[in-house]
A and B are shown apart, each in its own frame.
Chain A
Amino acid sequence: GENVEQHPSTLSVQEGDSAVIKCTYSDSASNYFPWYKQELGKRPQLIIDIRSNVGEKKDQRIAVTLNKTAKHFSLHITETQPEDSAVYFCAASRTSYDKVIFGPGTSLSVIP
């Protein structure tokens, strides 16, 4: 079955710097890759997603890149702010109807 790895497990950056989180997946049939943000004590919420027919997607300060050949995808956050501090999860699935497998998460701390 699908296995998703995520690095780093923790990340500290200065406010205004960029943060990059990387994920790899094992199932070459996966074609949907969402990213979720979970603030302390709250539920995960989708921040951006990408499908296999697209190499990059941007939404304001957030971007995701996908390399299907290498089976890895990354989240890029620019101009980080203290409110970006949270746990970020990457995930993968064959279709969005199918089971979604999550990575173990990255705890991001943005230092003012």
Chain B
Amino acid sequence: NAGVTQTPKFQVLKTGQSMTLQCAQDMNHNSMYWYRQDPGMGLRLIYYSASEGTTDKGEVPNGYNVSRLNKREFSLRLESAAPSQTSVYFCASTLAANEQFFGPGTRLTVL
């Protein structure tokens, strides 16, 4: 099993450009999450999907949209990137009542 995979690993954008971060899991997990990690700020929840077909806002949803494409895939879209969105983005998934499994992360720089 690959676990949780994310693409791309690195990305540089110019202000105003758009992009989609992809996340997939092969563990048959119900819930999936997107976090951003900034120095000294910990992991802040952007959006989550408790089950296929549902999505909910987290702590810092502004400037982002998500799509739970199917049970395996949960994508994060930046419609108009801003320098404040420079961060490391982690996707995570969980089955039931237990740990979250994290992907390797995407390092995004917005110039």
Interfacial residues, chain A to chain B (CB-CB below 8 A): 1, 6, 9, 32, 34, 43-46, 49, 89, 91, 95-105
From known contacts A43-B90, A43-B105, infer whether A97 and B40 are also in contact, taking CB-CB under 8 Å.
no
Interface residues of B in 43-58 (CB under 8 A from A): 43-45, 48, 50-51, 56, 58
From known contacts A99-B56, A99-B58, infer whether A45 and B43 are also in contact, taking CB-CB under 8 Å.
no
A43 touches B98 (CB 8 A): no
Assembly CA distance A49 to B98 (angstroms): 8
Which of B33, B35, B42, B90 meets A103, CB within 8 Å? B42
Nearest-neighbour CB distance to chain B for A88, whole angstroms, equals 10
Subset of 19 A-B contacts with CB under 8 Å: A34-B100, A43-B90, A44-B102, A46-B99, A96-B98, A97-B30, A97-B31, A97-B94, A97-B96, A98-B50, A99-B56, A101-B45, A101-B59, A102-B42, A102-B44, A102-B45, A103-B42, A104-B42, A105-B40
If A89-B42, A97-B31, A99-B58 are given as contacts, then 7 extra A-B residue pairs at C-beta distance below 8 Å, sorted by A number, are A32-B97, A44-B43, A46-B99, A91-B43, A98-B50, A99-B48, A104-B40
Interfacial residues, chain B to chain A (CB-CB below 8 A): 30-31, 33, 35, 40-45, 48, 50-51, 56, 58-59, 90, 94, 96-100, 102-105
B31 touches A43 (CB 8 A): no
Nearest-neighbour CB distance to chain A for B94, whole angstroms, equals 6
Contacts of A9 in B (CB 8 A): 40
Assembly CA distance A105 to B56 (angstroms): 24
Assembly CA distance A32 to B98 (angstroms): 9
Closest to A103 in B: B42
Instruction: Give the interface centre of B30, B35, B42, B43 by most chain A CB atoms within 10 Å.
Output: B42
Closest to A4 in B: B42
